[in-house]
Amino acid sequence: MHDTELLRQYSRQGSEAAFRELVERHVHLVHSVALRQVRDANLAQDVTQAVFILLSRKAGTLREGVILEGWLFRTTRFVAARALRAEQRRRRREQEAFEMQMTAIEDHAWKRIGPILDSALEQLGPTDRDALLLRFYQERNHQEVGAALGMSEEAARKRVTRALERLRKFFAGRGFTISAASLGSVIAANAVTAAPVSLKSAVVSAAIQAGAPAATMPALVKETLAAWQWFKVKVATALVLGSAVLVAPFFVTSETPEGVTSFTASPQQPPSVGSRTGADSAVATTADGLPTGTAAGRTAAALTTATASRDGLRLLVSARSSGEPITNAVLTINTVVGREWQQRFDLRTDAAGVGWIPLPPDLVRLDAGVVADGWGYRCVHWIPGRDGPIPAEYVLFLDPATNRIGGWIRDMADNPVRNAQILVSFPGSDVSNRETPRESVDFVGPVPVARSDAAGHWSCAVIASDIKNFTIEVTHPEFASADIGVAREGVGQEVYAQLQSGTLVTRLGEGNRVSGTVTDVAGNPIFGAEIAHRPYTISPTITRTDARGRFEISNLPDDEFDFVVTAAGYAPEYRNVQLDPDLEPIQVRLSPGALLRLRIVDDEGVALSGIHVMLEQWGDRRHKLAWSAVSMRDGVIEWGEAPADSTLEVCAFGPGWCYARNINVRANGDEHIIRMRRSLVVHGVAVDAETGEPVPELKAYPGYGEGEYAWERLDTRHRSNGSFEVEFQENKDPWRVRVEAPGYLPATSGPLSNDFTGILNVPMQRESSGTNITGVVLLPDGQPAAGAEVALCTFEQTIGARIKQGRFVRERRPKNIQTADREGRFTFKPDPEAHTLVAVHPAGFARIRVNRSEPAHEIRLQQWGRIEGVVLNRPDGQAVSVVLSDWAAGQYSGGLDLDDAVSVDSAGRFTLEPVPPGNLFVSVRRERTSPAAGMTPVSVPPGGIVQVQIGGRGVTVVGKFVPGEVEQPIDWKKQSANLLPLDRSRLPVPPGLDNEARKWWELDFWLSPAGYSHLAASQQCPLWLEADGSFLGYDVLPGKYRLFLYVSETPASPSIGQVSYDFVIPENQTQGSEVMDLGTHGLKKSPEQNAATQ
């Protein structure tokens, strides 16, 4: 029965059943709007009762055909506003603290949208607002929305789409960007908060009683009726006076909601309320007995007069040596709320060296750094969910930076460029197997450090002396940006020398431009289509088409530019263009979107709401298209504008659930099920194994699976007094906890499951100097190898370096690498997973096993060797390079691999030096990204020269792959095909070994001559693929092989086709120049493809 008929029955016949039905239909809407505005559960119930009492009194006077949702929404807003005023007056009279209560909702977008959603809806026209209320608050389908609004289903669908787009623009104008589709999902999942069951009966009873003519009404109802009466008087007065401006009939607040900090507001210093010290603040006050004349005392005195506020961080920036404040320093701030990253550089420290950093609500990450000329850049990092609450105050100490760098900015006509901004990017630290330090020189993006003057000159001294590599970016609104790679060693050191001398000249040009038109398949222009480049970065390039479907992007620095075009109702289109001045406008035609339907359930098949699903990869394009959605109450997510041409890789996550990754689906209208696994929070206690006392300071982090990449050190949590908690959020077994503490050996738990309950007790053994891994590095003549670099290899931690040209080359900030002292000595902390020590020095190389029974090790270096050789039978005489590898190091966790490669001359000759002595392999490759083939064993004696021949031992295998049963086009050069030896022997693993014992056995085996021989006899032969599907296998030895090709759109997506063909190369096959043609092989549909089509 329609709302109008129910209202008629109640107003004319006093039907309690009719009114009860109205309450059942709309109480959730009213309660949700009230709760968002008053943010107090009890007060929201009072407002809800008042609104339905008003409905009971006004039921007979509402116009015929009124959209009751709209009337209830506006009335609730009005009543709630008056309720807030009355409540605030009451609390001021009683002088009680106003503590807001609000349901904690994990959806990051909802946290930004929720507080102002109702204000946004108020700005819409009545029809748009009613359409959204019906669609998302009442969860009606488009047909029902159309019936209520007196229009067709298609018209209702368009009305809802247009209304969502208007809402999207409202939020975009307030600094929050979200797609219209995502906005609809967010509202649907969160807008309606179920009213308490008891509230329904209370509302019906109160409203019917108060609806009687002589009934006593609640004060809130009386106030509202009086306010409505007063509004009538105001309108009448305005009409009498002939005013051209009519006052809106319902209350709309423009004030910032209480408890919400305006992040873009000017950073005013709040009134002083005294000093408060956080767990990480490193703040010492004079009350702690520090002399005020010391650096710490001056720092403490400054903070004693500082402000402590729950909505901000007071950052005191001081010189480490003296404690003197560093004034007028620029603050570099990054905040993350949900999945939204925001950066600002407009705040500075004051005369006391204090910078006030406002903190937005629901903050999940803060990075705060300081740029001050003459001082090394430094940044402090917090993730509250991992590190605990952000303290009210923190002291950041800076060290002097004496290495001033600079240069000149000019245009292509050699004119100086004024006001160009110089930004520096430092190496990043957010790597899963590395702990993020509290302080570092890392920031999440480029840091502004200087601007060019009128002569185009710039300079700064902000790079700390221990920073080896960084990147400089020069930007200006009239030019394309320029990037400069800088290194103090190796590639980039010449640039660094010019920066030090102030002679580096950077020229800015206008850059390239790309323009075009976006239309539908019929050629009609599409207005408002979005063109996005690098949408997942902090600063994406985004523009929209005009009314004629045209777009233009200028000042592009690169010669290549890729982008994705999206528009409501259409599937996205990806383009990658080569830019040049003569580039013609690009024509982009969008096709109708396909339907991707997902259902999110738990392990028992129960639907889950509030689960985020995000697109990771579209075909072979990773992080090119930004799309995400949130599951509704039935667990369903629908994306009607999905691309239909490729596999889509998505991930799913939500509070209380593990990440579901590598989910490959297609937008074919079928429902795809995503099963979620509950996350686990483990609480534990770490105690001294001897005394049973809690460990004073510790850190704990989760582990997923086995091996060197198992430990998620990025989730490290520092705790005190023995207690800790670790959350498992990845769906990879086994789950384990690792605990580390100063003065103790690391402790690792056994495997955990979702069923774990109670407290995890972790006894920790004290470390002693006798348990350290120590030693001395000696030269080949027995003298101390001062300055030798020593690496400790472990099963559970990567080193972060390779051996190249006789030294360690750092891929990132390395772990477990030390430099020997003058006497050649080194010391590592004890690690039960440590297995190998590797030392490098200009005089030689050595690798030995860690001896647990004798912690002191003697490492005697062996002289570097040299390899000279020739490559025979190069395919078509192509240019190739020779690669030096230690394949054994790749067979166990924590191995140190080699990274040497040299080109061959026209005669095929090459030389590799210095080469570590030992059993190694050399092979050839055609391109940097092509696989290495023709693997040839070579044993290098200490200080010796070895002659080696690559090729000429086997035959060249050729053939061609064709699509066969697979209909879609194949990018053959992106596939991986191999010849797998079928007669290789199994590893001779002794029986009865558990996992722990087996990993140590395998380490010994691979480092032995037997392991080297096994590798030499059983390596697969990779094939070189061409764009037309033809392939070539270089120097394949006699034996039984399987030609194997597994085709997929992405490395993580399911196979769409494969080839498997067994053949034999006989022993008497002519070697060297012989070619064996395997013919043409068509792809067969993979089992999963066949299943999908049945």
Domain-ending residue, one of 726, 759, 792 = 759
pLDDT tier, 877 (very low <50, low <70, confident <90, very high otherwise) = low
Q: Which of 624, 591, 644 is nearest to 968 (CA)?
A: 644
pLDDT beyond 80 at 788: yes
pLDDT tier, 740 (very low <50, low <70, confident <90, very high otherwise) = very high
Is residue 640 assigned to a domain? Answer: yes
The residue-averaged pLDDT of 1058-1078 equals 83
Q: Beta partners for 711? A: 703
Tokens for 556? 């592009």
Query: Between vectors from CA 227 to CA 226 and to CA 233, what angle results, nearest 5°?
Result: 95
Domain-ending residue, one of 373, 398, 423 = 398
Ranges 507-521, 622-636, 648-662, 921-935: which has the least confidence:
921-935
pLDDT beyond 50 at 310: no
pLDDT beyond 60 at 304: no
pLDDT at residue 388 in the model = 80
pLDDT tier, 248 (very low <50, low <70, confident <90, very high otherwise) = very low
pLDDT at residue 490 in the model = 55
pLDDT at residue 102 in the model = 29
Q: Which of 651, 589, 648 is nearest to 617 (CA)?
A: 648
pLDDT beyond 90 at 389: no
pLDDT beyond 90 at 136: no
Q: Return d(Cα 437, Cα 442) in angstroms, integer.
A: 10
Query: Is residue 334 within 8 Å of 383, Cβ to Cβ?
Result: no
pLDDT beyond 90 at 531: yes
- Numbers of helices and strands, H then E, in the chain: 17, 61
Give the position of tokens 């764009």. Answer: 1027
Tokens for 904? 């061959």
Q: For residue 475, how many C-alpha atoms fall within 13 Å in the half-sphere facing its CB?
A: 10
Q: Which of 976, 1005, 975 is nearest to 989 (CA)?
A: 1005
Tokens for 911? 């030389």
Ranges 152-166, 440-454, 612-626, 942-956: which has the least confidence:
152-166
Q: Supply the range of the domain harboring residue 372.
A: 305-398
- How many residues are listed for the chain in this entry? 1094
Ranges 468-477, 754-763, 871-880: which has the least confidence:
871-880
pLDDT at residue 243 in the model = 34
pLDDT at residue 148 in the model = 85
The set of residues, in sequence order, having a beta carbon less than 8 Å from that of 7 and lying 6+ positions away, is 18, 22, 59, 60, 62, 68
Residues 61 and 201 in one domain: yes
Number of domains in the chain: 10
Residues 378 and 439 in one domain: no
Is residue 121 assigned to a domain? Answer: yes
Query: Is residue 857 within 8 Å of 874, Cβ to Cβ?
Result: no
Q: Return d(Cα 560, Cα 803) in angstroms, integer.
A: 34
285 or 937: which carries more pLDDT confidence? 937
pLDDT at residue 541 in the model = 86
Task: Provide the CATH number for the domain around residue 119.
Answer: 1.10.10.10
Give the position of tokens 């000149």. Answer: 408
pLDDT beyond 50 at 1003: yes
- Amino acid making up residue 690: E
pLDDT at residue 292 in the model = 35
Cβ atoms within 10 Å of 708's Cβ, excluding its own: 18
Average pLDDT, the chain: 81
pLDDT beyond 70 at 245: no
pLDDT tier, 1072 (very low <50, low <70, confident <90, very high otherwise) = low
Query: Is residue 915 within 8 Å of 902, Cβ to Cβ?
Result: no
- Amino acid making up residue 68: L
Cβ atoms within 10 Å of 748's Cβ, excluding its own: 15
Query: Between vectors from CA 125 to CA 120 and to CA 126, what angle results, nearest 5°?
Result: 105
Q: Return d(Cα 240, Cα 1059) in angstroms, integer.
A: 87
896 or 574: which carries more pLDDT confidence? 574
Is residue 622 assigned to a domain? Answer: yes
pLDDT tier, 130 (very low <50, low <70, confident <90, very high otherwise) = confident
* Cα distances (Å, whole numbers) of residue 219 to 30, 224, 250, 689, 1068: 19, 9, 19, 65, 104
Residues 381 and 464 in one domain: no
pLDDT at residue 427 in the model = 66
pLDDT at residue 271 in the model = 28
Helical spans, DSSP H, in 150-218: 153-172, 180-190, 197-211
Range ranked top by mean pLDDT from 93-97, 313-317, 993-997: 313-317
pLDDT beyond 70 at 861: yes
Ranges 166-180, 221-235, 493-507, 713-727: which has the least confidence:
221-235
pLDDT at residue 539 in the model = 75
Residues 486 and 420 in one domain: yes
Domain-ending residue, one of 653, 675, 697 = 675
Is residue 1053 assigned to a domain? Answer: yes
Which tens digits make up the pLDDT trace of 403-451?
899 999 999 999 999 999 999 987 665 545 567 788 888 888 899 999 9
pLDDT beyond 80 at 468: no
Report which secondary-structure segment, H or E, holds 84: helix 68-94
pLDDT tier, 196 (very low <50, low <70, confident <90, very high otherwise) = low
Residues 974 and 1057 in one domain: yes
Give the position of tokens 């029902």. Answer: 144
pTM for the full predicted model:
0.61
Is residue 242 assigned to a domain? Answer: yes
The residue-averaged pLDDT of 901-911 equals 90
Tokens for 588? 């982009």
Is residue 410 assigned to a domain? Answer: yes
Which tens digits make up the pLDDT trace of 45-97?
888 888 888 888 888 788 777 788 888 988 888 888 777 766 655 544 443 33
730 or 146: which carries more pLDDT confidence? 730
What are the strands, taking DSSP E only, across 982-1054? 1021-1022, 1024-1025, 1030-1036, 1039-1048
pLDDT beyond 50 at 262: no
The residue-averaged pLDDT of 924-953 equals 89
The residue-averaged pLDDT of 118-134 equals 82
Residues 68 and 90 in one domain: yes
Residues 581 and 611 in one domain: no
pLDDT at residue 86 in the model = 63
Q: Which of 759, 606, 752, 729 is nearest to 656 (CA)?
A: 729
The residue-averaged pLDDT of 570-591 equals 90
The set of residues, in sequence order, having a beta carbon less than 8 Å from that of 847 and lying 6+ positions away, is 836, 837, 838, 839, 916, 918
486 or 650: which carries more pLDDT confidence? 650
1069 or 589: which carries more pLDDT confidence? 589
Query: Is residue 914 within 8 Å of 843, Cβ to Cβ?
Result: no
Residues 1083 and 968 in one domain: yes
Residues 95 and 212 in one domain: yes
The DSSP letter of residue 805 is T
- The region that residue 928 occupies, defined by phi over 0 for left and psi between -120 and 50 for alpha, beta otherwise, is alpha
pLDDT beyond 80 at 613: yes
pLDDT at residue 945 in the model = 96
Residues 825 and 932 in one domain: no
Tell me the chain's radius of gyration from C-alpha atoms. 35
Task: Provide the CATH number for the domain around residue 499.
Answer: 2.60.40.1120
Q: Return d(Cα 44, Cα 35) in angstroms, integer.
A: 5
Determine the longest span between alpha carbons in the chain, in angstroms. Answer: 112
* Cα distances (Å, whole numbers) of residue 466 to 395, 440, 622, 859: 21, 11, 34, 28
* Cα distances (Å, whole numbers) of residue 582 to 216, 513, 514, 518: 81, 10, 10, 20
Give the position of tokens 């030090």. Answer: 500
pLDDT at residue 811 in the model = 58
Crossing angle of helices 41-58 and 197-211, rounded to 10°: 40
SS3 content of the chain, % helix, strand, coil (to 5): 25, 35, 40
Is residue 292 assigned to a domain? Answer: no
The residue-averaged pLDDT of 770-776 equals 85
Give the position of tokens 């067979």. Answer: 891
pLDDT at residue 92 in the model = 43
Tokens for 74? 């506006």
The residue-averaged pLDDT of 847-873 equals 90
The residue-averaged pLDDT of 728-750 equals 92
Is residue 662 assigned to a domain? Answer: yes
Residues 821 and 852 in one domain: yes
pLDDT at residue 197 in the model = 61
Residues 755 and 810 in one domain: no
pLDDT at residue 426 in the model = 78
pLDDT beyond 50 at 256: no
Q: Which of 839, 901, 842, 840 is nearest to 867 (CA)?
A: 901
